[in-house]
Amino acid sequence: MKLKVNGKTRTFSGSPFKRLIEALREDFGLTGTKEGCGEGECGACTVLVDGEAVNSCLIPICQVEGRSIQTVESLGEPGKLSALQEAFMARGGAQCGICTPGMLMTAYAWIKGGGSSDRAAIRECLAGNLCRCTGYQHIVDSVAQAMKGSKKEKRK
């Protein structure tokens, strides 16, 4: 079967019931996506399927045949980070890092989908992503800053 991963068409020939997170990490070498709880509670494994945030630990790969997957690797790379990643660094939005790829992808889907930059709305958007160290304040601040930045860019 074929699917798009970070813009490239990839072929997958393993078991159709392999979970998306395992296919990404083991078959496509994209280890940025982390598995936390494995039961859809913590959001660490969040990736986008056709632009929507989903838990990759709960999806057998057969269900995403022909769909477009985006992982944290698509956001940027060292030296060329996205505004969202820069904001997480500037505002202390990451500490141990396990929740970070999921936080970034959920926030990225929210921003791309035209979500509100209101603090309460950002908190609701991130409600499915748990962090056990930095606390949520810095993460919300990071997303808010990235959204403020992207608005400024649009105005220019």
Partner 1 sequence: MRGAPETMTVLRPKSAKEAVSLYAQDTGAMPLAGGTDFMVLWNIGLFNNRKILDLSGVRDWRKISATRTSVVIGALATHAEIRRHPLILKEFPLLAEACATIGAAQIQNRGTLGGNIANASPAGDTFPPLLVYEAVVHLVSARGKRELPISEVFAGVKRTTLLKGELIESVELPSLGKRPTRQIFRKVGMRLAQAISKTAAAGLLTLGKGGVVEDFRFSFGSIAQTAVRLTEAESLVVGKKLAPSVIDEACRLMERNVSPIDDIRSTREYRLEVSRNILRRFLEGNRT
Among positions 82-141, residues that touch partner 1 (CB under 8 A) are 106, 109-110, 124-125, 127-129
63 counts as binding partner 1 under rule CB under 8 A: yes
Question: Strands, E, within 18-125: which ranges?
Answer: 46-49, 52-55, 68-70
Q: SS3 of 46, please?
A: strand
Number of amino acids touching partner 1 (CB under 8 A): 31
Binding mask 43-62 for partner 1 (x = CB under 8 A): x--x--x--xxxx-xxxx-x
* Exposed/middle/buried for residue 155 (C-beta within 10 Å: 0-12, 13-18, 19+): exposed
φ, ψ (nearest 5 deg) of residue 153: -60, -40
39 counts as binding partner 1 under rule CB under 8 A: yes
Residues near partner 1 (CB under 8 A): 14-19, 38-41, 43, 46, 49, 52-55, 57-60, 62-63, 106, 109-110, 124-125, 127-129
